[in-house]
Structure 1
Amino acid sequence: MVLRQGRFGMFIGCSRYPECEHTELIDKPDETAIACPQCGQGHLVQRRSRFGKTFHSCDRYPDCQFVINFKPVAGECPECHYPLLIEKKTAQGLRRFCASKQCGKPIPAE
């Protein structure tokens, strides 16, 4: 195994490449305790795009393709009962919103 630089950062790869294509990430994605609202089996993990922006997606990708661009917060929307909230920075400060694309309503502070 050798340390290599790829377009997504450093990784460990087999020294017998191309016969052996085994690779391992050095930095594992940060996993949250929040369950995926789409499949219900996976958990949301923080990942980084090739442009450097962070996003959260299901750890069961490619079986589940749930993705959000804002920080997920455990909770339920009081309007539509969607099981996930997101936290956005607005002019009023940090506010929580429903993560459902159909609802998206702001959640009042508790």
Structure 2
Amino acid sequence: SVESEVERLQPVERLRLEELKDARRQCESLATHVNDLRIHVDDANDACGRVLAADTPLDQHPRNQLDSVNQRFMALKTALRVRTAALRNALTDFGPSSEHFLNQSVTLPWQRAISKTNQLPYYI
């Protein structure tokens, strides 16, 4: 299941730099799969809505199951969204375009920083 695949993913903090792009592709693939599952979740919600709209009494057990499915689906979407953001941040901070290695070129008490407005380096 998709849930077990997401649980088996290695935390972003433990990934090596060269593994980040593959992890991002894998996360995008899982997100696509979750979006495909959304059709089935929507179908189940629509069916429940039609039954309730027809004033047909519905046992509490199917309602609870549907609520559980909706909660699990939302948790899955949230987990993948958080992971995607973490991977994007990791690639931005430590990817090929990062300049963290230049921090060692400055000796204390000086620190190297990059301006937020124009992305130019400066020393503090």
* TM-score bracket, shorter-length normalisation: under 0.3
| Structure with the higher fraction of residues in helix conformation | 2
Q: State the structure with bigger RCO (CA 8 A, min sep 6), 1 or 2.
A: 2
| Structure with the higher fraction of residues in strand conformation | 1
Look at both structures and tell me which one has the larger radius of gyration over its CA atoms.
Answer: 2
Task: Give the TM-score taking structure 1 as reference length.
Answer: 0.26
